[in-house]
Chain A
Amino acid sequence: MTFIFETLLRYLEPFSSGILCLAVLFLMPLLLDRSKPRILRILIIPAAAVAFWLLYRHVAASAPAARWLGRLNSPLFPAMMILVLPAVYLSRGRLYKLFLLLPAAFLVLAGLAVVHAYRGVPPGSGGFYWLLIRPSFLMAGAVSLAVLAQPLASLKNFRRVVRVLAFIVLMYGGFMFRQDYTDYKEMLGRRATPARDVMTISETTPVVREADKLLHLPGAPCRFSADGGYVQGCNMELWQRVMQASILKVRARDVGETNALACATGSVALLLVLSFAAARWWCGWICPLSSMGDALNGLRRLAGLPHLKPAEPVKLGMLLSGLSMGTLGMALAKCYPYLDGNGEFMGCKIPIYPFCKICPGQQICPVASRGPAGLQPLPGWDWLFGFFRVAVIAMVVLFLVSFLGARRLWCRFCPMGMISGFFNRGGMVRLRKIARKCNHCGVCAEVCPMDIDTVRSEMIDENVGSFHCVLCLKCVEKCPRDGCLVLELAGGKVTESRFDGKAK
């Protein structure tokens, strides 16, 4: 039985490739275009899958290629595709709503399986429950549920649900979704005694038994959250890891170094591709730092206090300081290969993840995921002559002030979001304004948490995306003119402004 199962899995392996998932992502405009003949839309997926399968088998015939390609595989991808794709073909009627039962059922089963597993089942016992316990299925279920429920809820509520779910998964995911109990205990053991002030990569890497698989998502939250589950660090950590690679070692064909660099580079590529597809959507919908910040902001709103509207120089200043902090962090990370035994470079004590050391996330995320027990000690005065200590205090204060007083001023500073900001105007996601429908009221500029004025003032260019836009879609939600602001994904309309508050 197991033998058949394993053979089947081996043959199906190409379908678990992330590349196939990306190919389907690029076919999405065709699939979403309901004016195209239905038969074409239905057949294109199996046709693409078969073509891909053949290509993959051909390329994977060589062992190193197979190993590299294997790194990008995960059952998460086909699970998501199976759950989400069929919905693309359905109209939003009763059948569609029935369809929601499928991912809901998956989630329930996965949840039951997790509960079952935590009862201390000894490892390696195999069996059907392994399939269900896969966190990839859980995440796939959650994501598909969210995607499918999207047309049915109001934009505001939908976004709230997504943010809360994302927060839970990212901050507490590891606790709930560890593969099995032994895994979890092992991870706790590793984190109890960090080698230095800052945890190293192995201390937080989720280990999956079969092979070294690393799953990275862009802009993920801090690795310092007590257990970030299978989401490995944020993209600043990714850049730092790229910086940390020692060119000399790579030239010397050091296997470990080359692997690490290859991983990191692969992740960068994936990051760029996903940023192209989703622009700065992460910032507005997933980032747990912003969710926590917006919760703080909510306190201000409850108190009925007005918010500060930052002047243009302040906004520019935040952008430039964020860029400089990020650059400084990267520059210091470059010192990693040259650190001596004491962790010093040219007499200065430099941490291996310098950006992380000043980032407020490193202070806030552990508290969010473990409560007061997660409070980290501040970096000592000896790190770069006290720069880090002062900087991290300043960053935390800046974080609190900008979220408490000024909605999302922090996001103008945050270097994590900047890489996807570039795709706000050129990527697959587009915010479009039909200017002749605009009534010039300026509500869009008023509600924008990033204080962007372009959406209000631009009357000629239909593309009103901005580098700073976090795609929170508050402007689309509030605009009182039907069809004035439209959010498009690769040319297909996702949502548009509509009177009476339901921007669907």
Chain B
Amino acid sequence: MITAGIDIGSTTTKAVVLDENAIMASLVVPSGNLPGQTAVKLLARVLEEANLSESDIGAIATTGYGRRLVEIGDIVMTEIKACAAGALAGEILGEAPGERIHTVIDVGGQDTKVIALDDAGDIEDFSMNDKCAAGTGRFLEMLAVKLELSYEQFVEEALKSDTMLQMNATCAVFAESEVVGLLARGVAKADIAAAAHNAIASRIASMARRVGQRGAYCFVGGGARNKALLKAIETTLNHPVYAPRKAQIVVALGAAIGARKRSGGKDGE
């Protein structure tokens, strides 16, 4: 059965069309002001890319912050469940770490989640950072602007430094002033960039500890494309962290898998 999963986030909206064990098409677009409308248009585009019409789709699942904003979904699931399902879909993604994944880290535009899985792949516990922007992608974007760098340059700079320095400010807004202070003290931009990543990594590490950290670790979401962040997390957790190439669409993929499971389609059971 062909299913589709749509992850309606606050920053970006992602869609995946899934057929048995292969992704037929996937797309990522900015959510804009009206994520509901964006989702509908995105679905149309991704179907076009897969050369299918809506009637070919067996079930559509919506997830993410805007999951209830649209009516196109046949089922609605939380991004927690979708994220866990997607992270475990190694064969579909075309890659997987050697050992079982027990912890999934999802750094999104406006929130960060850590999910602990048991041996059967069921969700044991999860932790969400939902009160504050510190520790999310937004934090890094803001700091990049403050350092007068593009986001890519910001990440490159962070990779250059090995510093253990960590930003102190718990608030993303106050972190801006902290950056000004550090620059004035003569700290290199690379170090500041690395310190910002360290701050996030340390937040994530404490979230992981709260849910019982256990390898192997899988890093998904938009933040997973940030190599500096990946490195910082690996250093803080003192454990290799696996980030799939298609990290950003993992949640949408998980939604599509969930849709298939719920409508009774084969799931390799």
Direct contact of A and B (CB under 8 A): no
